[in-house]
Amino acid sequence: MCPDIRNNYEISNYVWFLNSLIDNADDVKALRKARVLNNLLGSDDEVAKIFNTVSTDLVLYTGKYDRVRDNIEKIYNRKVSTWFAELQLKHFNTPWTIIGLISAFLGFNLTIVTLIRELSK
């Protein structure tokens, strides 16, 4: 750190922020899929270890990313968002499942309409 240069600790704050998001290889994988990180080290476990060791002795301007992290936690802790994400990942992860659901819905509605017409005759 040079005393003549104005420093807001942007790099060390960003490394600290990423470390607050990364605990293990699964977190690195999620950040890679979201295109936040680009892993050129080989394994996600190595990236997690690097972030967990590098960020131990950082000089920080605290509070810079607190609002961002709090907003991420609020979204993550919403039950409805979690349910929709699980529903999408487990049951509607391909276009064919969505097409199948729409087809089943249309078939069910057409069956009900046909039954109502037959009963009203």
- Decide: 48 and 22 in contact? Cβ < 8 Å: yes
- Cα(39)–Cα(28) distance, rounded to whole angstroms? 8
pTM, to two decimals: 0.48
**pLDDT tens-digit profile of 49-93?**
888 888 777 666 666 677 887 888 887 788 887 788 888 888 888
Q: What is the DSSP letter of 3?
A: T
Give residue 5's pLDDT. 65
In angstroms, how far is CA 42 from the centroid of its own chain?
Answer: 21
Task: Please name the residue that has the structure tokens 């240069």.
Answer: 5
